[in-house]
Structure formats: structure tokens, C-alpha cells
Amino acid sequence: MGSEILLLCNCTGSYGWLFLHHIEMSIIKVAIIEDEPHTRQLLQSAVDTPGMGMLCVAAYASPDDAIAELAVHDADVVLVDIHMPGAISGIDCVRVLKKSFPGIEFLMCTSLDDAENIFNALQAGATGYITKSTPTAKILEAIQDVHNGGSPMSSQVARKVMGYFYNSEVQQKDTELQKLSGREREILDLLAKGYRYKEIAAMLFVSIETVRKHIHNIYEKLQVNSRTDAINKAYTHRQ
């Protein structure tokens, strides 16, 4: 619930002298899970900066403490480190808490920016991922962003996410090619270079009918109906 402010206004008109206004300010309630005391204190102080519209409602030194106590603190956003001492990691902590509190947004704030931790955290239920090297002002912006429905990421994290999807697409293209025999890949390469059936047959010392049969098999394996579709499915984005 937000803070409430009552404004009392005097009026000099003949129709009255008092108006009561009720203004509700939305306060983002933030919890922090960070084992390093100095970092935890810095984050807490930043969240509690006057005028930012945030309040640190809890700061935990371990995932175990957060799992045991978060229910009583009614947080909107939780900042979570990954590498912490104890039985479970920050990622496992998010996985457990997200099931119990699906309405809370979890924002990873860690020094780890490798692809494995990034995607494990997102799969566990984190909505955003920033590194501890992020300036304080940007961390506060990320808290506001995730609270408002966004998915903030540090620039280096975003690049790795984009690279992951690009590489996944390349791997899919490679998988498509693995469906083909060596001769079929050879013929598809020549098709991609613009050669006609007659030219391919002459280059490979086979009949045109043999070329047609191989191309038919290529279409079936790639589940396409044309030369263009076969080339696009097997080769696009592989460069």
C-alpha cells in the first residue's frame, strides 16, 4: 500500500472554507538478497534515497533467510545476487520464491554475466538481470522498470541474450543440413550458387533424372516445396 498525504486548503469564497484532498503516492517496496554486507548496505541506502519512490522493506544475508522471511515483508521487487554461501544459490532461491509469490518481480543483481547464469536465472523466474558494475542510478531505474512491467538488462547481458538467439538459429540451420546426405548437400550447394539441373548433372557426371531425384529428397527432408525455400532454410544466417 502507498503512503497517504492529506492536504488542507483554505478557501476565501462564499461557498465554503475547507477542502480535503487525498493523494496516494505509489511506493515500490524492495527487498534485497545479498551476502556481502557492504554491497547490501549500499543497495539499501540507494533504494531508500529520498524522492525515489522506493522503500527497502528487507535485506537478507542469504537465500535461506529470504525464503523463511519474505512472506512477512510484502515486497514488490526483490534484488537477488547469485553466488552466495549456503545450501542454495540465488537462482535456486528465485525458483522457490517465484512459485510462492508469483506477483513479485525478481531482478538479478550480480557480478556474474556468463550465458549459463543469465539463462538459468531467467528460466527460474527472474524478470531482469543487471550486473553490480551498473551505476546506482541505473540500478534504481531498473527497479522502476521491472516494477512497471519491463525486463531490464545490463548492456553486456542484452548482447549475450541476442547472441544466444542468433547462435540457436545457426545451430538449427546446421541441424537441417545434417538431415541431408553428402551428395544432397553437394547438389544443394550448387543450387544455391545458381546452377541449373543440366549443369549440375554435367558437373557431377550423373543424369538429370538423378539430380531431380536428389532434389526431391532434399525437399522432403527439409519440408519445403521450392529451390528458394530449401536454400533459405538450410543456409540463411549461417555466414
Q: What is the DSSP string of 79-93?
A: EE-SS-SSSS-HHHH
Note down the domain range covering 133: 27-162
The answer to whether 25 touches 5, Cβ cutoff 8 Å, is yes
Strand, helix or coil for residue 107: strand
The amino acid that residue 130 corresponds to is I
The reported pTM is 0.62
Residue 200: CATH number of its domain: 1.10.10.10
Question: CA 17 → CA 6, 7, 21, 23, 159, distances in Å?
Answer: 16, 14, 13, 20, 60
Domain count, the chain: 2
Q: Which set of grid coordinates corresponds to residue 18?
A: 475547507
So what's the pLDDT on residue 172? 53
So what's the pLDDT on residue 9? 41
Q: Is the pLDDT of residue 109 over 80?
A: yes
Nearest-10 crossing angle of helices 208-222, 182-192? 100
Q: Is the pLDDT of residue 96 over 50?
A: yes
Task: Please tell me the distance from the alpha carbon of residue 218 to that of residue 20, in angstroms, as a whole number.
Answer: 77
So what's the pLDDT on residue 107? 97
The answer to whether 81 touches 109, Cβ cutoff 8 Å, is yes
Same domain, 80 and 131: yes
Mean pLDDT of the 135-143 span: 95
Q: Is the pLDDT of residue 30 over 90?
A: yes
Residue 148: CATH number of its domain: 3.40.50.2300
Question: What is the tens place of the pLDDT at every residue in 158-199?
Answer: 777 666 655 555 455 556 667 888 898 889 888 888 888 999
* Percent with pLDDT over 70 in the chain: 80
Residue 171, C-beta contacts closer than 8 angstroms, at least 6 positions apart:
none
Same domain, 105 and 68: yes
Least confidently predicted of 145-154, 158-167, 202-211: 158-167
Is the sign of the CA dihedral 49, 148, 127, 129 positive or negative?
negative
Same domain, 191 and 100: no
Q: In 10 A of CB 171, how many CB atoms?
A: 11
Mean pLDDT of the 27-45 span: 96
In a domain, 86, yes or no: yes
Task: Please tell me the distance from the alpha carbon of residue 72 to that of residue 31, in angstroms, as a whole number.
Answer: 11
Of these ranges, 40-44, 115-119, 166-170, 232-236, the one predicted with the greatest mean pLDDT is 40-44
So what's the pLDDT on residue 69? 94
Q: Select from 162, 196, 222 the last residue of a domain.
A: 162
